[in-house]
Amino acid sequence: MSDCNPKSIPCDPSANKLDVSSDSENLCDPKLFREIVGSLIYLMTCTRPDICYVVTLLSQHLTRPTNAHLNLCKFVLKYLKGTILFSLRFVKSEDPMQITGFSDSDWGGSSDRKSISGYVFKSSSSSSLISWKSKKQNIVALSSCKAEYIALTYAVQGAIFLKQLLCDMDGYDEPVGIFVDNRGAIDLAKNPVHHQRSKHIDIRYHFIRAIIQDNKAVLSFVPSEENMADMFTKPVTRQSLLKFKFSLPKEQSERQKWLDVIPPRENFVVDPDKFFVCEIHWGADPPLIKLRGGSMRPGIPPSIFYVPASCLSSPNSHLARRKLKTNY
């Protein structure tokens, strides 16, 4: 896989229909598949929420994987090769601490018609993600409202854990804001009355009502196209990945003035013997590399300047990446 062509999305758009449309044979030895999935789970848990959905999908087939599942694993590895420098960046922020979450579900999104739940949480408006999860629901939801309601219950459980953790650390006691793109699920969570359409829902999913009444969580509506958790419930498109790239912190956004002075140079080649790669800002568009060790024109401080991240595709890219891993 070291010489494979990189991919721009984590998985094939039809990955959620793999079991229905594929007649692939079972693997004779599933050991390699299980080793790859185990490594992907570690990577997804630590720093790569963008592969959360596909890793969750693959982990459901550890018992009897097929060649199609192994090919999907290779697809993920190709995506990781093209985004090997992607990471979560945590910096000191002036924004106040406010846990904010997004919840979503894909009704009947799996081959057995069970829905897929997903949620994400941020510690402030400008922070990276601090918690994320993609999970197939244990029951078959009879409506999209019920699927969203169950997904919201999972999200509230994660929110309570984060709130208790921060409360033990610094006394944080603010309600957690959770955004949902289904008004029916919001109304069902706020209404403590049992009626004909909700009496079949298991009682364990109704604990969310007590959480809302105690003001530990606040539900708000968000349009589906603005719901960040959508990429944790179904195959994500390239447009969604670019849309939900997290913005730079304020201290970095001040450095955008350099872009007005230094135009992008797509043919610029990083020479690791002359320049020192010290930072990569994936929040910029295009992604930028911060270099030290030279100047490009008069009037620019000679120690720091920016170039597009596309210069890492140069013949010296492996040297630049090695310096980056050592010093970033």
Q: What are the pLDDT digits (tens) for 206-217? A: 788 888 888 889
pTM, two decimals, is 0.70
Q: In what order do the strands lie in the sheet with 288-292?
A: 276-281, 288-292, 304-308
Of 105, 95, 312, 88, whose CA–CA distance to 229 is shortest?
Answer: 105
Is omega for the bond preceding 286 within 30 degrees of 0, making it cis? yes
Kindly state the percentage of the chain with pLDDT values over 90.
24
Read off the pLDDT of residues 115-151 as tens digits, 9 standing for 90 and up.
999 999 998 877 888 999 999 998 888 888 889 988 9
Q: How far is CA 286 from CA 34, 194, 277, in A?
A: 36, 51, 17
- How large is the average pLDDT for residues 277-293? 57
Q: pLDDT grade, residue 191 (50/70/90)?
A: confident
In the chain the first and final C-alpha atoms are separated, in Å, by: 26
Side chain identity, residue 35: E
Average pLDDT, rounded, for the chain: 75
Read off the pLDDT of residues 60-76 as tens digits, 9 standing for 90 and up.
889 889 998 999 999 99
What's the burial of 225, exposed, middle or buried (CB within 10 Å: 0-12/13-18/19+)? Answer: exposed
Give, as one character, the DSSP assignment of residue 65. -
Name residues whose C-beta falls within 8 Å of residue 44's C-beta, 6 or more positions apart in sequence: 51, 52, 55
